[in-house]
Structure 1
Amino acid sequence: MKGYTGKILFVNLSNGTMKEHKLSEEVYENYLSGVGLGAYVLYHTIPAYADPLGPDNVLGLVSGLLTGTGSVMTGRWMAVCKSPLTGGWGDANCGGTFSPAIKQCGYDGIFFKGISEKPVYLYVDNKGPQIKDASHVWGKDTVEAEEILEKENWVRKKPCIALIGQAGENCSLISGIVNDRGRIAARSGVGAVMGSKRLKAVVLAGSKAISCEDPQGIRSISKEYSEKVRKQNMPGIIGGSVLPMMGKVVMGGKNVSAVDGIMSAMMMKRWGTPVNNTMGVVSGDSPLKNWAGSVEDYDKSYYKNLNPDNIINREFQKYHCYSCVVGCGGICNIDDIGDGKMKHTHKPEYETCCAFGGLLMNKDLNMIFYINEILNRAGMDSISAGATAAFAIECYENGILAKTDTDGLELTWGNSEAIIKLIEKMIAREGLGNILADGVKVASAKIGKGSQRYAVHAGGQEPGMHDSRFDPMLGVHYSVEPTPGRHTIGSSQAYNIYQLWQKVTWAPKVIKYPKDEEYVPSDEEALKAVANSCYKQLYDGSGGCYFAAAMGVQHWKLFEMLNAVTGWNKSPDEYMEIGKRMQSLRQSFNIKHGVDPKSYKMADRMAGIPPLKAGPLKGRTVLIDDMMRLYWKNMGWDEATGVPLTNPEDGKVSLYEGGF
C-alpha cells in the first residue's frame, strides 16, 4: 500500500465483536483517507434518521493519508460521526501524536457502533485489539485518566491515548475528544457520541511501518518546506504591542491583494494563534460582546491584557504536533492561578482567548488560563462553551434569566468568578448548566421568552471566533458546509493566502481588488469559496495542518506530496475533483438524514442584520442568501435547495451495508 494501510477496524460495543475490513485502492483514490474515508464509511453504515446518541450512530477515529510517510505538517486526525449538535454530518479535527498511532496499529481508521453495558476502552497493539474495563477511570478528567491508562499500558512503547472527560461522559452536545493532555477534537459533539457509547478511551501501542511510494521524493519536498519555515524568525525587538497597530492597518485597508503566507510562520513560531488576540479586536475580525459589540466597547483598557506576550511569558516548553516544524503550541505554568492544584496547561488558543475574552467582555487573562485547563480536562469545546456563556449573560442582562434561574450567579459581562462557576455547572450538568451544556440552540429552545435572538449559531453549532461581517466568505462557509459554523474551512483571507490559482486551472486569480467586492454576491467569489472547500477536504483527508496550508501551495506542496506518497501522478485539478467528491458525499450524508441545507444559514446577527452601529464593521451586512445559492450552483448542487445533483455513492453497493 502507498501511504495507507488498506484496512479499517470495526468495533461493536454492544456485543464486543471486532472485525477488520480491507478496502480497495479505488476507495482511497475516490476519497483519500481522513475525513473522506470517514464520510464513505459513515454514509454506508449509519441508517437514515439514526439517533446520534443511540446505538446505530458510528464514531470513527481516522488518520490522514500522508500521516507517517515522512511528509511534513501532516499529523492531524479526525473524529467523525452523525452530529448530535446539528443532526447532520459531524467531524472534529485535532493535532497531537494520535494520528500516526492509528496507522501504526495497521488501520487507517477505527469505527465504533453500539453501546457498551459498562465503561470500556479499546486497546490495540501489534497483536490486535482488545476491549478492556474502564470503570476505574470513568468520572476522572482527561489528564488523570490519561496518566492512569498510560501507566497501565506502557509496555514496549508509550501508548497514544484519545479519551473523553466528564463533559463527554455526561453527553454534553458541545463536548470533544482529547489527546496529549489537552489537544482536543472539540467540535460537532463528538465527545457526546463517545460518551453515549460508554467508551472512555482508545489506547494505541502499535509499531507497524507506514509505507510510501517515493520516500526520497517526500523527504526532498518536506526538507524544502522545513528549511523555509526555519528561516522565518521574528526580530526580537518586535513585541506584541505592535499587533493592534497591524489590526488598524488591516481595518483601514480599502484594497485586498494576494499574500505570501510563509511570512505567517514567524508569528506562529513566536506567539502561536494568540497572535490574533489584539489584532483581531482592532481589525474587526474578533466577534465581541456576543457579536453585538465592537472595539469601542472592548477598548484598549480591555484588550491590552490579552497581549500574546503576556501568554508566552508563562510558556516554558514549546509544543509540536507530530511532523510539525512550526511549533505553534506550548505548555504554560499556571500553578499560581486558582487553588494551585493545576500546575500546567496547553497554551490557550486564540479561539479560547476570544471566546472567554472579548466575546464575554472579560479582561482577566488568568481566568482564561484557568478556564482553558478545566475545559481541556473536562473535554468541552471552548468555542461553544464561551458562546453559550455569552448567550446566558445577554439573557440575564435582558431579564430573560433571573438570579433564581442562575443559581444565584450574577451573570454580568466580564464577571470572571461567575463565568467560571457557570462553566463548572455546564460540565457537571448542574442547575442552569444542565440547560446550557448542549449549546445555544438547545438552550434557547428550552428557555424561550425570545432568547432565540441572542442564540448565535449556524445550524446548531456555535461559530468560530472570526466575524463574517469582516470577511463575508467566512459567512458562506459557516452556512453551507455540511458541518456548519466552522471557521477553518475558508475565507477570502485564506483563499488569498492559499494561492490555489498557481496550480489549479479553474481557481480565480487574485492580484488586487477593492475590499467592498467581497460583500457583493458573484460567481467569482462563489468559485473561490468552492475552491476553499475542495482544498480543505484534501488536506483533511491527508492529515494536513491548516496553518501549513495557509502558507500557500507554492510552499507547502500538498499535491506533490500526495503523488510522492501514492504514485498516482494526478494533477492538482484531479485532486480538487476528489475534494469536491468528498464535500458532495458529506452533503449527501446530510440529505440522507433529513437535513435541509437552508436550515444551516447563520444567525442574522452574524450577517449584520441589523448592522452594527459602531466600530470597524459599522453598517456592514452580508447578503448571505444570495451567496449561499451561488456557492451551491458553483459546487454543482441544486442552486435552490443545496442538494447535490449527483450523489457520489448512488447505486453503489458497499461492504458496510447491513451493519458491522
Structure 2
Amino acid sequence: EYEGWSGAGWTIGATDPQQVTWMNTQLDRACVDVNEFGWLCGWVMECQQKGYITDQDLGFRLEWGDIDGANRLLEMICKREGMGDLLAEGTKLAAEKLGGEAQDCAIYTEVGNSPRGHDHRSRWEEMIDTCTGSGGTMDTAPPVFPTDYGQPARVHPQDAEAVPRHVGGLRGRRAYEDSLGACVFTTRAPMDVLCRSIQAATGWDVDKDEAMQTGRRINALMRAFNLRCGIGPEVEKPSKRYGSTPVDGPIAGVSIMDQWEKMLDIWYETAGYDRETGRPKPELLRELDLEDVAEALWGANV
C-alpha cells in the first residue's frame, strides 16, 4: 500500500523493496501509524546527521536507509525506552521539546498530526485540507468528480483562490464516503452512482444532495468536538519545514506560506465557518439540523 511504501521507505531513505515491506509489517504489528513513524524516524535521522541529536542522546547511530536501525527505534518507541519515551509522543511534541534547529527540521501540523506520505508543498489542496481537517488527516482529500457539486473539473494546483474554494466547496463528500465503512479508493465514482449502489444494498432512498448534507453534518460535528477540546484556528498551519519553499522541481521557489492567510480566508468562507473562532456558523448548523450544536457553540439566542 502506498502509505506503507512512503512511511517505511523513501521518508527514511530506504529503497530495497523487501526491507521496506518487512518494516511496514513491523509497524502494522506494532499498531503504529506508518506516516507518523516515517516523518518521525526521518526527522531523527536528519537531526543526527546535522548533530542536533547525538549518538549518546539516542543510544546508537541511525543512518538514512538503515532498516535495522529504524526497527530498533520502533522498539524503543513502543517500550518508551530511553529517548523513545519522548519520541512516543509524536513528531510535533518531540520536536517542540528539543526546540531550536531540531524543531525546524520536523514535518507536522500545528494541530499535532503529521501529513500523509506526499509532499504537500506542491499539492496545496492537501496541505490546506490537512491543516484544517478535524480527523487527523484530510477531510476532503483531492477532489473527485467535483462537477457533481458545481465545482470546476480541475483547478491549477497552486492557485491560491481556486484551491481553497475547491476544497471548502467539496467538504462533506469524503466524510460521507468514510461513513459507509468502505475504502474511499473503491468508491471513487460519481455521487449518483454511489447513491444508487447504496439504494440497491439498503433500500434507502438517498440522493447526492442528502449524501453531501450528511457528510457536512459529520464534518461540523467533528469540528465542534475539536473546538471543545481547545483545537482552534490558531493552530491551523504547517510546521516550518512542512510549509517550506521547495528548492528544486517544477515549483522551486513557489511558497504556499506567502498565500496561507488568504487561502484560509477563502476556505472558511466557502465551508461556512467563522474565520475568527473556527466555529461552524449558526446558519450552517441550522441548515444541517444541528440546532443543539449551534446553541452549544453560540448560545441560546443566536
| Distance of 1:569 and 1:531 partners within structure 2 | 24
Q: Deviations over 1:360-397 (max 9, x none)?
A: 22223332122122212111111111111111112112
State which of 237, 243, 248 in structure 2 corresponds to 1:601: 237
Deviation, 1:472, is 0.7
| Distance of 1:488 and 1:600 partners within structure 2 | 14
1:470 partnered with 2:111:
no
State which of 126, 148, 152 in structure 2 corresponds to 1:509: 152
Match of 2:72 in 1: 421
Contact 1:580 1:635 survives alignment (8 Å) = no
Match of 1:318 in 2: none
Task: Considering Cα pairs closer than 8 Å and 6+ residues apart, tell me whether 1 or 2 has the greater RCO.
Answer: 1
State which of 518, 529, 539 in structure 1 corresponds to 2:177: 539
Q: Deviations over 1:403-447 (max 9, x none)?
A: 11011x212222333222112211221111111112111211332
Contact 2:169 2:271 survives alignment (8 Å) = no
Deviation, 1:540, is 1.2
Match of 1:355 in 2: 7
Match of 1:19 in 2: none
1:436 partnered with 2:87:
yes
State which of 163, 167, 175 in structure 2 corresponds to 1:525: 163
| Distance of 1:488 and 1:416 partners within structure 2 | 32
Match of 1:614 in 2: 248
The correspondence of residues 639-658 of structure 1 with structure 2, limited to 5 A, is: 639-646=275-282, 647=285, 649-651=290-292
Deviation, 1:575, is 2.0
Deviation, 1:528, is 2.0
1:394 partnered with 2:35:
no
State which of 617, 624, 634 in structure 1 corresponds to 2:270: 634
State which of 398, 401, 406 in structure 1 corresponds to 2:58: 406
State which of 574, 585, 590 in structure 1 corresponds to 2:221: 585
The correspondence of residues 204-243 of structure 1 with structure 2, limited to 5 A, is: none
Give the superposed CA RMSD. Answer: 2.4
Deviation, 1:531, is 4.2
Deviation, 1:564, is 4.0
Deviation, 1:650, is 4.2
Distance of aligned partners of 1:386 and 1:397 in 2 relative to their CA distance in 1, 3 Å threshold? same
Distance of aligned partners of 1:627 and 1:573 in 2 relative to their CA distance in 1, 3 Å threshold? same
Contact 2:140 2:172 survives alignment (8 Å) = no
State which of 116, 127, 145 in structure 2 corresponds to 1:499: 145
| Distance of 1:531 and 1:562 partners within structure 2 | 23
Distance of aligned partners of 1:570 and 1:418 in 2 relative to their CA distance in 1, 3 Å threshold? closer
| Distance of 1:441 and 1:403 partners within structure 2 | 21
Contact 2:171 2:271 survives alignment (8 Å) = no
User: Which runs of 5 or more residues in structure 2 are unaligned?
Assistant: 294-302
Distance of aligned partners of 1:488 and 1:354 in 2 relative to their CA distance in 1, 3 Å threshold? farther
Deviation, 1:519, is 1.6
Letter in 1 for 2:64: W
Match of 1:88 in 2: none
Match of 2:299 in 1: none
Letter in 1 for 2:253: G
| Distance of 2:238 and 2:171 partners within structure 1 | 17
Contact 1:479 1:628 survives alignment (8 Å) = no
How many residues of Structure 1 are paired with residues of Structure 2 in the alignment? 286
Contact 2:176 2:211 survives alignment (8 Å) = yes
| Distance of 1:521 and 1:470 partners within structure 2 | 12
User: Which runs of 5 or more residues in structure 1 are unaligned?
Assistant: 1-348, 653-660
Letter in 2 for 1:415: D
Match of 2:113 in 1: 461
Letter in 2 for 1:363: T
Match of 1:65 in 2: none
1:553 partnered with 2:190:
yes
Distance of aligned partners of 1:372 and 1:356 in 2 relative to their CA distance in 1, 3 Å threshold? closer
Name whichever structure is richer in strand by fraction: 1
| Distance of 2:84 and 2:252 partners within structure 1 | 34
Contact 2:124 2:163 survives alignment (8 Å) = no
Contact 2:167 2:267 survives alignment (8 Å) = yes
Match of 2:297 in 1: none
| Distance of 2:74 and 2:26 partners within structure 1 | 9
| Distance of 2:23 and 2:86 partners within structure 1 | 19
State which of 370, 375, 381 in structure 1 corresponds to 2:33: 381
Letter in 1 for 2:96: A
Tell me the secondary structure at the aligned position of residue 115 of structure 2.
Answer: coil
Letter in 2 for 1:386: G
Deviation, 1:465, is 0.6
Identity among equivalent pairs (%): 24
1:370 partnered with 2:22:
yes
